[in-house]
Amino acid sequence: MSQQPITVSVIKADIGGYVGHSSVHPDLLERARADVSGAVDRGLLVDGCVAYVGDDINLIMTHRRGIDDLEIHRFAWDVFTACTTVARKLKLYGAGQDLLSDSFSGNIKGLGPGCAEMEFVERTSEPIIVFMADKTEPGAWNLPLYKMFADPFNTIGLVIDPKMHKGFEFEVHDLIQHKRVKFLAPEELYDLLIFIGAPSRFCIKGIVSRETGEPAAATSTQRLNLLAGRYVGKDDPVCIVRCQSGLPAVGEVLEPFATPHVVAGWMRGSHHGPIMPVSMPDATPSRFDGPPRVVSLGFQLADGKLHGPRDLFTDCAFDRARDKANEIADYLRTMGPFEPHRLPLDEMEYTTMPQVMQKLAGRFEDI
Ligand code: F6R
Ligand code: MG
Ligand code: MG
């Protein structure tokens, strides 16, 4: 077993939808897989897996270069650029949409793609789960991560596993003020919750074990930029969670998704909807461009090799969560353009408000 740290980097982008925003074209996956296998052959990556959720391509990569590595980020950028060429030929919808810059400038963060990374020394056995969501935002991980790492009604290990009993440290980012703060669970739970209960602004970036100081979870939470008076840059998120042996068991990590929580996103990034746990082939959000989906891929890491994936939400025990998500979707859809189905004015990705206001400006009277 190697004592040399391994880095898991999950970098994702929507570089063209098939059809509309519902799925990824197989030719793009083929292109990405060829590039990833080339990078393994030439030693840049130890291993790699190309996955998808909705219209997003996810590169799940292991390597020895640490987080925020220029070559790894450049490689992901080049894969997405090559896929964009294929997407343009096929005239896929929104080809190249997540490549916000004409060129790569050192770190993929802020250039469009989402990125979650974690560096650690592999344990005797290293089960990890990569979560990938479509039609929602990074704050969608707040509730499930809280349940996994701080709620004893979800994670019995917090109560009865001596290696978990000390709890976990949560790093929370304020996406608007660009600040971060750390909280100790369980003693600061109430302080933690006042922030992460507002997932459009405060997002869990990472979680660390207080027993070992080891990283346990990392998300693709990224700062938002104020453009044209609105905050932009929220994106379909990914999250990496290490499991077992002093960390939540695989079943404790999956359990929060047995009850679909309501997240922001869905049609035009402007609606609340239930997040539905599905297998990768079922991650094709079509009804009202949704409802939002989450896929969980399990891997056993062995000297950096990704043994897997096991597509964990294929378990029929999640059938009822899917049924419930459909019921919640039916109910919320009855509200049409009204809040709280539609997002509040300052959180919608699309709005006509400035134009409508301008058109009607002369008709507003003082009261
Ligand atoms: C949501 C999403 C879609 C689009 C919608 C309209 O994140 O990507 O729901 O917003 O299909 O797309 P346009 O404006 O490109 O026609
Ligand atoms: Mg899209
Ligand atoms: Mg997407």
Question: Which ligand is nearest to the Cα of residue 289, counting in written order?
Answer: 1
Burial class for 32, CB neighbours closer than 10 Å (0-12, 13-18, 19+): buried
Question: Which positions are catalytic?
Answer: 14, 231, 234
Q: What is the pLDDT of residue 222?
A: 85
365 is a domain residue: no
In a domain, 278, yes or no: yes
- Answer yes or no: is 145 within a domain: yes
Report how far ligand 2's centroid is from the alpha carbon of 187 (Å): 41
Which residues, at least 6 apart from 166, have a Cβ–Cβ distance to it below 8 Å? 209, 210, 211
Ligand 2 centroid distance, CA of 163 (Å): 42
Atom number, ligand 1, closest to the C-alpha of residue 93: 15
Nearest atom of ligand 1 to the alpha carbon of 268: 10
Q: Identify the residue whose C-alpha is closest to ligand 1 atom 7.
A: 269
How would you write the pLDDT of the chain (367 residues) with one tens digit per residue?
568 999 999 999 999 999 999 999 999 999 999 999 999 999 999 999 999 999 999 999 999 999 999 999 999 999 999 999 999 999 999 998 888 777 787 888 777 899 999 999 999 999 999 999 999 999 999 999 999 999 999 999 999 999 999 999 999 999 999 999 999 999 999 999 999 999 999 999 999 999 999 999 999 998 777 665 666 667 899 999 999 999 999 999 999 999 999 999 999 999 999 999 999 999 999 999 999 999 999 999 999 999 999 999 999 999 999 999 999 999 999 999 999 999 999 888 888 988 999 999 999 999 9
Give, using CA atoms, the residue closest to atom 4 of ligand 1: 268
Residue 178 lies in a domain: yes
DSSP notation for 8-20: EEEEEE---BSST
Closest atom, ligand 1, to C-alpha of 267? 9
- Taking a 5 Å cut-off on Cβ, the residues next to ion ligand 2 are 14, 17, 21, 55
- On whether residue 366 sits in a domain, the answer given is no
Boundaries of domain holding 347 = 6-356
Instruction: Give dist(CA 312, CA 324) in Å, integer.
Output: 18
**At a CB cut-off of 8 Å and minimum separation 6, what does 84 contact?**
15, 16, 95, 96, 99
- In the structure, ligand 3 is a single-atom ion and the residues with CB under 5 Å from it are 14, 54-56, 134, 236
> Residue 110's pLDDT is what?
74
Residue 59 falls within a domain, yes or no?
yes
List ligand 1's pocket residues with C-beta within 6 A.
20-21, 135, 267-269, 289
1 domain residue, yes or no: no
The pLDDT of residue 348 is: 87
Residue of 12, 14, 21 to test ligand 1 pocket, by largest number of atoms within 8 Å of CB: 21
Q: Give the count of domains, the chain.
A: 1
Q: In this structure, which residue's CA is closest to atom 14 in ligand 1?
A: 268
Residue 184: the pLDDT is: 98
Residue recorded with tokens 């990590």: 253
Ligand (nearest to CA of 343)? 1
Interacting residues of 93 by C-beta distance below 8 A, sequence separation 6+: 16, 17, 18, 19, 20, 21, 55
Q: What is the pLDDT of residue 207?
A: 98
In a domain, 337, yes or no: yes
What's the confidence (pLDDT) of residue 85?
96
Lookup result for tokens 């997003």: 56
Unique residue bearing structure tokens 């799940």:
60
